[in-house]
Chains A and B, each alone.
Chain A
Amino acid sequence: MSRPADTDSTDTNAADTTSSPSKDAGITQAGFESLKQAAHWYAVLRADDVTQDDHAAWHIWLDQHPEHRIAWQHVEAVSRRFQPLQTEEEQHAAVAALKAARKPNLSRRKVLNGAAAIAGISLFSWATWRHTPLSDLVMAWAADHHTGVGDIREIVLADGSRLWLNTDSTVNVDYHPALRRLQLITGEILIQTASDSQLSKRPFVIDTEHGRLQALGTRFTVRLNQGETYLAVFEGAVKIRTESTRTSEVITAGWQTRFTQDGITESQPAERARQAWAQGILLADNMRLQDLVAELSRYRSGHLGVAPEIANLRVMGTYPINDPDRTLAMLEEILPVRVRHILPWWVTIEAR
C-alpha cells in the first residue's frame, strides 16, 4: 500500500518545478500539500493493482481534514473536464487535437498549412473505449456499491438494514464497532434501517459533503443534487448536522428538506414520488413536463431536451423508470407532444 508520505520531494520533482508555491499565491502551504496528496491518491486509486487497503487508506486520508476533501473535489473537477468526450471517434479526434495543440512551434503558418497532426491517431486506435466518465470510475472503484445510469439496486446490509441505490449512484459502506456509517458520494439512496442487534445499539449515519444525517429508526431518501443534499423522511425521523456551521435539525416522517454545508432550508411535506423509484416507478403527481424529463434523464445517457413552449405542461401518472424510451412513448400518447430522435444520444420533445 502506498501513502502520500512516500512521495518525497525527489519523487515528484517534475510537478514541483513547474508549480511550487510562491509568495503571491492564493493557496496556503497546507492547501498545496493537500492537493499534492489528492493527486497522489488519484494516481493510486486509478492504478490497475489498486487494493481494498488502498481504498481504506484513502478514506482515512479523506476524513482526516476538511482541506483533504476540498483538494479531492478539485481532482474530481479536473477529471470531469474529460466527460464531454463520449464516443470513440470523438476520443480519437480529441487526442489528435490535443497532440496538435502541443506542438512546440505552434504559429500562424503551421496552423494555416499544417496537414500533419492526424498521424498520431493510428497509434491509439486499438485502445479500449470506456463510456463511463473517469471521475465516476475512480469514485466507483473506491466505493463499496455503485449503480450505472438506468440501474436501480437493492442491497441488504450486514445489520439487516436495506439500502436502495438509484441510478448512477455511489455509496461507501463503513461499519465500525461503534458506528454504522454510509457515505453518499453521488446520486440518491433510500434507506430502511434495522434496529442494531449489537448491544451497544450503534448509531446509523449517512455522510454527504454537506453534512451528517443520523437515522432515528426510519425510512428515508438522501440525494445529492446541484450542490445540495436532499432529504425526505417517510418513517421515523432523521437528524441533520451541517458540515461547516454544525446546524442541527430533526426532520420527522412526512417531511422533506435540503441542506448545504452552511444551512438547512425550511421543511416541506414529503412528496411520495421521492421514494417511488425504489419500486422502479416514476411517479408524476401534477409534475411539470420539464421536471419529469429532468428526472427521466437521470436514467438515460445522452441529451434529453424539452421545447420551452411545452415545458410547463402538467403530467399525472406512473411511468416505468428503467425503460425511459417506453416512458417517452407513453408521454407522446397522452400529451400533445412529439419525441424526436435527432441522434441516438440526442432526443428532444417538441409540441405536436
Chain B
Amino acid sequence: MLPSDHLSFLSIETLYCDHHGWLFRWLRGRLGNAADAADLAQEAFLRLLGKPCQFDSSESARAYLRAMAKGLCVDLWRRREVERVWLEIIADQPQAMVPSPEHCAIVIETLCEIAAMLASFPEKPANAFIMAQVYGMTYREIAIELGVSERMVKKYMAQAMLHCALIEVGYVAAC
C-alpha cells in the first residue's frame, strides 16, 4: 500500500468516527425514520470512499457531508415520489395489463435516472424533451402544447439533449 493510500484510508476512518454520529441524527431528523437515515449515512460515507477528498478542517468536512446528505435526501424523496405515482397509476390498470414487478423495477430505475438528469433543467425545455422522448410527439405538437414556436422546440431539444449527454458522460453530476 502506498503512503498516500494509507493516509486517505486513515482520514476516512477518522472522518467516519468524528462525523457518522451527527450525520445519522441529522438524517433521522430530516427523514423521520432511522432505517432510511442509517442507509443514507452509509451511502454518504461510501461515496466519500469512492472519491476521497482532502479536508483542512473538521468544519469543512462537516459542511461537505451535510451538502452530500441533503442531495441524498432529495434523491430518496424523488425516488419515493416516482415510485408512488407510477405504482398508483399502474395499480388502476386491469389485472391482465399490470406489468411484472421486475419490469416495474426497471422502469422506476429508469425514471429516477431521467428525473435526476432533468431536475436542474428549466421547465419548458425539460417538458419538451419528455414529450418528445416518452410520447414521440412531433415538434409541431409540442410547440402547440407549450405555446412556443417549432424553432424554439428544436432549440429546447438540443439543450436538453446536451444537458443529459453531459451527465451521461459523467462530466456534470446529476442532482
Contacts and interface: CB of A to CB of B under 8 A. Distances in A.
A311 interface: no
B169 interface: yes
Nearest to B89: A93
A154 to B, nearest CB: 29
Contacts of A42: 157-158, 161
Contacts of A110: 77, 81
B121 to A, nearest CB: 7
A339 interface: no
Given A18-B120, A74-B169, A82-B133, A101 B111 contact: yes
A79 interface: yes
A36 interface: yes
Contact of B163 (A15, A47, A93): A15
Nearest to B82: A97
Interface in A82-121: 82, 84-85, 87, 89-98, 100-103, 106-108, 110-111, 114, 117-118, 121
Interface of B is mostly: helix
Contact of A107 (B77, B158, B172): B77
A39 B162 contact: yes
Nearest to A77: B168
Given A95-B134, A95-B135, A106-B74, A111 B158 contact: no
Contact of A81 (B83, B110, B131): B110
Interface in B154-175: 154-155, 157-166, 168-172
B51 to A, nearest CB: 12
Contact of A14 (B100, B103, B119, B122): B122
A39 B77 contact: no
A175 interface: no
B138 interface: yes
A114 B80 CA distance: 11
A107 B73 CA distance: 9
B131 A127 contact: yes
Given A77-B168, A100-B82, A127-B137, A93 B161 contact: no
Contact of B85 (A7, A26, A84, A93): A93
B69 interface: no
A36 B165 CA distance: 9
Interface stretch (A128-136, A214-222, A234-242, A319-327): A128-136
A71 B163 CA distance: 13
8 A-B pairs closest in CB distance: A39-B162, A130-B136, A101-B115, A43-B158, A93-B89, A43-B157, A39-B161, A15-B159
21 contacts: A14-B122, A27-B166, A39-B162, A46-B132, A74-B165, A74-B169, A78-B161, A78-B168, A82-B134, A84-B107, A89-B90, A89-B93, A90-B90, A95-B130, A95-B131, A95-B134, A97-B81, A97-B115, A130-B135, A130-B136, A303-B103
Interface of A: 7, 11-12, 14-15, 18-19, 21, 25-27, 31-32, 35-36, 38-40, 42-44, 46-48, 71, 74-75, 77-79, 81-82, 84-85, 87, 89-98, 100-103, 106-108, 110-111, 114, 117-118, 121, 123-124, 127-130, 132, 134, 137, 303, 342-343, 346
Interface of B: 30-32, 74, 77-78, 80-86, 88-90, 93, 96-97, 99-100, 103, 106-107, 110-115, 117-123, 125-126, 130-141, 145, 150, 154-155, 157-166, 168-172
